[in-house]
Structure 1
Amino acid sequence: MEAQVLTALHHAPEPVSAAWVQERLGGDLAYTTVMTILSRLHAKKAVTRERSGRAYLWTPAADEAGLAALRMRRVLDGEPDRDAVLTSFVSALSAHDEQVLRALLDGADPGGPAPGRD
Protein backbone atom coordinates (compact mmCIF):
# COMPACT_ATOMS: atom_id res chain seq x y z
CA MET A 1 0.00 0.00 0.00
CA GLU A 2 2.85 2.41 0.75
CA ALA A 3 4.19 1.99 -2.77
CA GLN A 4 0.77 2.75 -4.25
CA VAL A 5 0.45 5.89 -2.13
CA LEU A 6 3.92 7.03 -3.15
CA THR A 7 3.12 6.39 -6.81
CA ALA A 8 -0.03 8.47 -6.51
CA LEU A 9 1.93 11.30 -4.87
CA HIS A 10 4.51 11.22 -7.66
CA HIS A 11 1.76 11.73 -10.19
CA ALA A 12 0.32 14.67 -8.28
CA PRO A 13 0.78 18.07 -9.92
CA GLU A 14 1.36 19.74 -6.53
CA PRO A 15 1.07 18.91 -2.81
CA VAL A 16 -2.22 17.05 -2.33
CA SER A 17 -4.65 16.09 0.40
CA ALA A 18 -5.22 12.61 1.75
CA ALA A 19 -8.65 12.70 0.09
CA TRP A 20 -6.97 13.27 -3.29
CA VAL A 21 -4.73 10.24 -2.67
CA GLN A 22 -7.74 8.16 -1.61
CA GLU A 23 -9.58 9.05 -4.83
CA ARG A 24 -6.58 8.08 -6.97
CA LEU A 25 -6.21 4.72 -5.24
CA GLY A 26 -9.85 3.86 -5.85
CA GLY A 27 -11.39 0.76 -4.39
CA ASP A 28 -12.79 0.61 -0.91
CA LEU A 29 -9.78 2.02 0.90
CA ALA A 30 -10.94 4.04 3.91
CA TYR A 31 -9.78 7.61 4.41
CA THR A 32 -8.38 6.65 7.82
CA THR A 33 -6.29 3.93 6.19
CA VAL A 34 -4.84 6.44 3.73
CA MET A 35 -4.05 8.78 6.62
CA THR A 36 -2.34 5.96 8.51
CA ILE A 37 -0.21 5.10 5.48
CA LEU A 38 0.72 8.75 4.91
CA SER A 39 1.61 9.16 8.59
CA ARG A 40 3.83 6.09 8.50
CA LEU A 41 5.53 7.34 5.33
CA HIS A 42 6.06 10.69 7.05
CA ALA A 43 7.67 8.96 10.04
CA LYS A 44 9.98 7.15 7.59
CA LYS A 45 10.80 10.49 5.93
CA ALA A 46 9.43 9.27 2.60
CA VAL A 47 6.89 12.11 2.40
CA THR A 48 6.64 15.66 3.66
CA ARG A 49 3.55 17.50 4.74
CA GLU A 50 2.49 21.10 5.14
CA ARG A 51 -0.51 22.53 6.94
CA SER A 52 -3.43 23.75 4.89
CA GLY A 53 -6.13 24.86 7.27
CA ARG A 54 -6.94 21.92 9.49
CA ALA A 55 -5.56 19.35 7.05
CA TYR A 56 -2.17 18.48 5.59
CA LEU A 57 -0.99 18.55 2.02
CA TRP A 58 1.40 15.73 1.16
CA THR A 59 4.41 15.55 -1.16
CA PRO A 60 6.95 12.79 -1.84
CA ALA A 61 10.23 13.61 -0.10
CA ALA A 62 12.39 12.31 -2.92
CA ASP A 63 12.32 11.53 -6.59
CA GLU A 64 11.89 7.98 -7.89
CA ALA A 65 15.60 7.23 -7.45
CA GLY A 66 15.56 8.47 -3.87
CA LEU A 67 12.52 6.36 -3.06
CA ALA A 68 14.13 3.29 -4.60
CA ALA A 69 17.19 3.93 -2.45
CA LEU A 70 14.94 4.25 0.60
CA ARG A 71 13.36 0.88 -0.17
CA MET A 72 16.79 -0.68 -0.60
CA ARG A 73 17.92 0.69 2.77
CA ARG A 74 14.77 -0.68 4.43
CA VAL A 75 15.47 -4.13 3.02
CA LEU A 76 19.06 -3.93 4.20
CA ASP A 77 17.99 -2.73 7.64
CA GLY A 78 15.69 -5.74 7.96
CA GLU A 79 18.44 -8.28 7.40
CA PRO A 80 20.45 -9.72 10.30
CA ASP A 81 23.67 -10.12 8.25
CA ARG A 82 24.12 -6.81 6.44
CA ASP A 83 27.63 -7.71 5.33
CA ALA A 84 26.44 -10.85 3.56
CA VAL A 85 23.58 -8.99 1.87
CA LEU A 86 25.87 -6.21 0.66
CA THR A 87 28.45 -8.73 -0.54
CA SER A 88 25.82 -10.65 -2.49
CA PHE A 89 24.34 -7.45 -3.92
CA VAL A 90 27.68 -6.02 -5.06
CA SER A 91 28.89 -9.31 -6.55
CA ALA A 92 25.77 -9.41 -8.76
CA LEU A 93 26.21 -5.88 -10.18
CA SER A 94 26.77 -5.32 -13.87
CA ALA A 95 30.15 -3.95 -14.93
CA HIS A 96 28.65 -0.49 -15.44
CA ASP A 97 26.91 -0.50 -12.05
CA GLU A 98 30.14 -1.59 -10.42
CA GLN A 99 31.99 1.32 -12.05
CA VAL A 100 29.35 3.76 -10.80
CA LEU A 101 29.59 2.34 -7.30
CA ARG A 102 33.39 2.50 -7.33
CA ALA A 103 33.30 6.13 -8.46
CA LEU A 104 30.81 7.00 -5.72
CA LEU A 105 32.90 5.28 -3.06
CA ASP A 106 36.01 7.06 -4.32
CA GLY A 107 34.20 10.37 -3.96
CA ALA A 108 33.92 11.04 -7.66
CA ASP A 109 30.73 11.83 -9.51
CA PRO A 110 30.23 9.00 -12.04
CA GLY A 111 28.37 11.43 -14.32
CA GLY A 112 31.15 14.00 -14.34
CA PRO A 113 32.43 16.71 -12.05
CA ALA A 114 30.05 17.92 -9.37
CA PRO A 115 29.11 21.60 -9.33
CA GLY A 116 31.87 23.57 -7.66
CA ARG A 117 34.43 20.79 -8.20
CA ASP A 118 37.21 20.92 -10.74
Structure 2
Amino acid sequence: MTRSTTRPGELERAIMNVLWDATGPMSVREVQDALEAGTGEGRGLAYTTVMTVLDRLGAKEMVDRERDGRAFRYTPSQSRESATAELIDAALDASGDRTSALVHFARSVDPAEAAALRRALDGV
Protein backbone atom coordinates (compact mmCIF):
# COMPACT_ATOMS: atom_id res chain seq x y z
CA MET A 1 0.00 0.00 0.00
CA THR A 2 1.29 3.48 -0.80
CA ARG A 3 0.86 6.49 1.38
CA SER A 4 -2.15 8.63 0.70
CA THR A 5 -1.29 11.94 -0.87
CA THR A 6 -4.72 13.41 -0.31
CA ARG A 7 -4.79 16.54 1.76
CA PRO A 8 -5.44 15.69 5.39
CA GLY A 9 -8.45 17.16 7.15
CA GLU A 10 -8.18 19.74 9.91
CA LEU A 11 -8.41 17.20 12.76
CA GLU A 12 -5.94 14.88 11.01
CA ARG A 13 -3.45 17.76 10.70
CA ALA A 14 -3.92 18.71 14.34
CA ILE A 15 -3.33 15.11 15.45
CA MET A 16 -0.29 14.75 13.23
CA ASN A 17 1.15 17.98 14.69
CA VAL A 18 0.68 16.57 18.20
CA LEU A 19 2.46 13.35 17.21
CA TRP A 20 5.28 15.20 15.43
CA ASP A 21 5.83 17.40 18.49
CA ALA A 22 5.79 14.44 20.90
CA THR A 23 8.92 12.90 22.37
CA GLY A 24 7.67 9.35 21.91
CA PRO A 25 4.66 7.15 21.16
CA MET A 26 1.31 8.45 22.43
CA SER A 27 -1.95 6.80 23.46
CA VAL A 28 -5.30 8.01 22.18
CA ARG A 29 -5.97 9.67 25.54
CA GLU A 30 -2.60 11.45 25.47
CA VAL A 31 -3.30 12.74 21.96
CA GLN A 32 -6.76 13.92 23.05
CA ASP A 33 -5.30 15.66 26.13
CA ALA A 34 -2.54 17.29 24.05
CA LEU A 35 -5.08 18.60 21.55
CA GLU A 36 -7.06 20.22 24.32
CA ALA A 37 -4.04 21.58 26.19
CA GLY A 38 -2.22 22.93 23.17
CA THR A 39 -4.91 24.43 21.01
CA GLY A 40 -8.26 23.75 22.59
CA GLU A 41 -9.08 21.60 19.55
CA GLY A 42 -9.57 18.56 21.76
CA ARG A 43 -12.37 20.19 23.72
CA GLY A 44 -15.52 18.24 23.21
CA LEU A 45 -13.86 15.58 21.08
CA ALA A 46 -14.91 12.12 22.07
CA TYR A 47 -12.21 9.55 22.77
CA THR A 48 -13.70 7.42 19.99
CA THR A 49 -13.40 10.31 17.51
CA VAL A 50 -9.67 10.67 18.19
CA MET A 51 -9.28 6.89 17.99
CA THR A 52 -11.13 6.78 14.65
CA VAL A 53 -8.96 9.53 13.18
CA LEU A 54 -5.81 7.75 14.37
CA ASP A 55 -7.09 4.55 12.75
CA ARG A 56 -7.69 6.46 9.50
CA LEU A 57 -4.19 7.92 9.68
CA GLY A 58 -2.92 4.37 10.13
CA ALA A 59 -4.82 3.23 7.03
CA LYS A 60 -3.20 6.11 5.13
CA GLU A 61 0.19 4.93 6.47
CA MET A 62 0.77 8.27 8.16
CA VAL A 63 1.09 6.74 11.65
CA ASP A 64 2.42 3.50 13.06
CA ARG A 65 0.86 1.86 16.09
CA GLU A 66 2.22 -0.56 18.63
CA ARG A 67 0.33 -2.53 21.21
CA ASP A 68 0.76 -1.38 24.81
CA GLY A 69 -1.31 -3.67 27.02
CA ARG A 70 -4.90 -3.41 25.83
CA ALA A 71 -4.35 -0.11 24.04
CA PHE A 72 -2.20 1.16 21.19
CA ARG A 73 0.46 3.85 21.12
CA TYR A 74 0.93 5.92 17.98
CA THR A 75 3.94 7.51 16.28
CA PRO A 76 4.26 9.33 12.95
CA SER A 77 5.48 7.04 10.17
CA GLN A 78 7.33 9.90 8.48
CA SER A 79 8.69 13.30 9.37
CA ARG A 80 6.67 16.49 9.07
CA GLU A 81 9.02 17.58 6.27
CA SER A 82 8.59 14.34 4.33
CA ALA A 83 4.80 14.51 4.62
CA THR A 84 4.84 18.13 3.45
CA ALA A 85 7.03 17.22 0.47
CA GLU A 86 4.55 14.48 -0.51
CA LEU A 87 1.68 16.99 -0.37
CA ILE A 88 3.62 19.45 -2.53
CA ASP A 89 4.39 16.70 -5.04
CA ALA A 90 0.72 15.69 -5.15
CA ALA A 91 -0.31 19.33 -5.65
CA LEU A 92 2.16 19.66 -8.52
CA ASP A 93 0.73 16.48 -10.08
CA ALA A 94 -2.80 17.83 -9.72
CA SER A 95 -1.90 21.14 -11.38
CA GLY A 96 -1.82 19.67 -14.86
CA ASP A 97 1.42 21.52 -15.57
CA ARG A 98 4.02 20.70 -12.95
CA THR A 99 6.65 23.01 -14.40
CA SER A 100 4.42 26.10 -14.50
CA ALA A 101 3.13 25.41 -11.00
CA LEU A 102 6.66 24.89 -9.71
CA VAL A 103 7.90 28.12 -11.33
CA HIS A 104 4.94 30.02 -9.86
CA PHE A 105 5.71 28.54 -6.43
CA ALA A 106 9.43 29.35 -6.71
CA ARG A 107 8.60 32.98 -7.46
CA SER A 108 6.46 33.18 -4.34
CA VAL A 109 9.13 32.18 -1.81
CA ASP A 110 11.19 34.67 0.16
CA PRO A 111 14.91 35.14 -0.58
CA ALA A 112 16.09 32.82 2.22
CA GLU A 113 13.80 30.04 0.97
CA ALA A 114 14.97 30.64 -2.61
CA ALA A 115 18.57 30.31 -1.45
CA ALA A 116 17.73 27.03 0.31
CA LEU A 117 16.10 25.75 -2.90
CA ARG A 118 19.21 26.70 -4.89
CA ARG A 119 21.44 24.85 -2.43
CA ALA A 120 19.20 21.77 -2.56
CA LEU A 121 19.20 21.78 -6.36
CA ASP A 122 22.97 22.18 -6.41
CA GLY A 123 23.26 19.16 -4.12
CA VAL A 124 24.69 21.07 -1.17
Length-normalised TM-score, structure 2: 0.64
Gaps of 5+ in 2: 1-10, 36-41
Pair 92,40 (structure 1): closer, same or farther in 2 beyond 3 Å: same
What residue is the counterpart of 1:113 in the other structure?
Answer: none
Instruction: Show structure 1 runs of 5+ residues with no match.
Output: 110-118
Matched, 1:65 2:65: no
Matched, 1:6 2:27: no
Structure-1 separation of matches of 2:12 and 2:90: 13
Between the aligned partners of 1:40 and 1:76, the Cα distance in structure 2 is 24
Equivalent of 1:97 in 113, 117, 121: 113
Q: State how far apart, in whole Å, the 2-side matches of 1:80 and 1:34 are.
A: 35
Distance in 2 (CA, whole Å) between partners of 1:89 and 1:37 is: 31
Q: Which residue type is aligned with residue 66 of structure 2?
A: E
Q: Percent of aligned positions with the same letter in both sequences?
A: 39
Give me the whole-angstrom Cα distance separating, in 2, the residues matched to 1:8 and 1:19.
12
Runs of 4 or more, structure 1, over 6 Å off, are none
Higher relative contact order (CA 8 A, sep 6+): 2
What is the aligned partner in structure 2 of residue 116 from structure 1?
Answer: none
Distance change (3 Å), C-alpha of 1:79 and 1:43: farther
- TM-score normalized by the length of structure 1: 0.67
Aligned residue for 1:31?
A: 47
CA RMSD after TM alignment? 2.6
Query: Which residue in the other structure is 2:72 paired with?
Result: 56
**Secondary structure in structure 2 of the residue aligned to 1:58:** strand
Pair 76,36 (structure 1): closer, same or farther in 2 beyond 3 Å: farther
The offset of 1:58, in angstroms, is 0.6
Q: Which amino acid is 2:69 matched to?
A: G
Alpha carbons of 1:23 and 1:94: their partners in 2 closer, same or farther (altered >3 Å)?
closer
Larger Rg: 1
Q: CA deviation at 1:88?
A: 0.8
Alignment length (residue pairs): 108
CA distance in 2, matches of 1:81, 1:32: 41
Distance of 1:65 and 1:73 partners within structure 2: 12
Q: What amino acid maps onto 2:75 in structure 1?
A: T
